[in-house]
Amino acid sequence: MRVLLVTGKGGVGKTSVAAATAAHAARAGTRTLLVSTDPAHSLADALDVEVGDAPTPLAPGLEAAQVDARRRLVDSWDDIRAYLVTLLRWGGLDEVAAEELALLPGLDELFALADIRSHVDAGAADLLVVDCAPTAETLRLLSLPDVLGWYLERGFDLERTLARVVRPMLGRRSEVPLPDDAVVGSVGRLYHALERVRDVLLDTATTSVRLVCTPERVVIAETRRTHTALGLFGYHVDGVVVNRVLPEEASGPYLDTWRQSQARGLAAVREGFTGVTLLTAPLLEDEPIGLTALAELGARTYEGLDPTTRLSDGEPLRLWRDGDEAELSVALPFAERDDVDVFRRADELYVAVDGHTRSILLPQQLRRARVVAAGLADGRLDVRFAVPDASR
Ligand SMILES: Nc1ncnc2c1ncn2[C@@H]1O[C@H](COP(=O)(O)OP(=O)(O)OP(=O)(O)O)[C@@H](O)[C@H]1O
Ligand SMILES: [Mg+2]
């Protein structure tokens, strides 16, 4: 099973490229499932057919689904939400504000993503193409398994600790509302589900990210930031699809000027995304709507390449160890020395790049190790550790 996450800035053509990739792969005989996790679904519009929450057959070897995130949210979050509301009201918030806060932003997308795991487990397809939400949302949501896991683990623990410590001091009236078994059970299930989907998404042999952009400076800049952040979160980006590239046959003075500007954009992509395969999709005269047009767009995008393979290699995280020395290497494409901050707290290493912070739970063998140096080279952050002798 291969999972392809298709993402990029709003409006660049994510849905079209995801659908084109799926249609093209299915034509070549790969059993393919196209899934949209973007709460603003538009697969049905691109395909020009009805697409439901469960996989809908479209053609031989091709199915599509638009996850009903609202429904997943109610199923998995409702009792947790109710508990959070009680807790927030106990903390002094009024009902409306508490209700508002208990719905963490991005949760609907998160539940939609959690569905990927069940599709992988069902094994009904060999290729899963995911039409993700635009850059900012997707990033937040892709990083949420980290954040939410941390929150759920420590947050709920904290509540219990708080109750134990604070309750005797406050007396009966101010008791911290404790989560009941149903809530604790829901949290456990949710945490488990997130962990399982994260295992799939961070398994670089299974999952690759394809970034979609257009050959315009602003779009390229944002796409590079997305690439850095994805590297930081451990995702493997194997291809960049530059969409809406003027085809050869388009000509005229106006178009020629535009083509020159696009050529500069393409050069910037070529320079900026070293190690990642570059694909181009032509600007079509008409919107690519319906399977035939999409499969054709897919064929022109991938040319001879097989969309299901890993288009380029690269390891998000690498660990090297030799006696009492170890080095942890994190892929951070495009990060500049000034943007990166590394610090250590207990058994976690924090890497902050451009406003995103990721905590890397250090492998067992590095938990007692000391950071001795950190450096940026060839798009990787290398952190050196001195490992204490276990026998002493
Ligand atoms: N190569 C292309 N040539 C012509 N039209 C295109 C091309 N790619 C996409 N389009 C059209 O551009 C519009 C936006 O494309 P699409 O919906 O795929 O973008 P998106 O990135 O998914 O947008 P959103 O961020 O809103 O989800 C659609 O009308 C689509 O048909
Ligand atoms: Mg879209």
Q: Kindly write down the DSSP assignment for every residue of 133-190, as one continuous string.
A: PPHHHHHHHHHHHHHHHHIIIIIHHHHHHHHHHHHHHH-GGGPPPPP-HHHHHHHHHH
Ligand 1 centroid to 215 CA: how many Å?
14
Q: Which domains does the chain have, with CATH numbers?
A: 1-313 (3.40.50.300), 317-386 (2.60.40.790)
Ligand 1 pocket check for 243: Cβ under 6 Å: yes
Ligand 1 pocket check for 242: Cβ under 6 Å: no
Atom of ligand 1 nearest to the CA of 284: 3
In the numeric block, which tokens belong to residue 316?
A: 């998000």
Of all protein residues, the one whose alpha carbon is nearest to atom 11 of ligand 1 is: 287
Question: Are the CB atoms for 228 and 353 separated by under 8 Å?
Answer: yes
Q: What is the pLDDT of residue 137?
A: 58
- Helices 181-201, 107-122: crossing angle, 10 deg rounding: 70
Ligand 2 centroid to 140 CA: how many Å?
17
Pocket test for ligand 1, best of 9, 15, 131, 284 (most atoms within 8 A of CB): 15
Of all protein residues, the one whose alpha carbon is nearest to atom 23 of ligand 1 is: 11
Q: Tally the residues of the chain.
A: 392
d(CA 102, CA 21): 37
Q: What is the pLDDT of residue 140?
A: 56
| Angle at alpha carbon of residue 119, lines to 187 and 145, rounded to 5° | 35
In the numeric block, which tokens belong to residue 28?
A: 């070549």
Ligand 1 centroid to 25 CA: how many Å?
19
The b/e string for 37-67 (b: 16+ C-beta within 10 A; e otherwise) is bbbebbbbebbeeebeeebbebbebbbbbbb
Atom of ligand 1 nearest to the CA of 243: 1
Q: What is the pLDDT of residue 54?
A: 93
Q: What pLDDT, in 10s, does the model give residues 99-119?
A: 777 776 667 777 788 888 889
Say which ligand is closest to the CA of 246: 1
Closest by CA to 22, choosing from 126, 115, 148, 156, is 126
Question: Are the CB atoms for 214 and 12 separated by under 8 Å?
Answer: yes
In the numeric block, which tokens belong to residue 101?
A: 């806060």
pTM: 0.81
Give me the residues of the chain with pLDDT under 50, please: 172
Of all protein residues, the one whose alpha carbon is nearest to atom 12 of ligand 1 is: 13
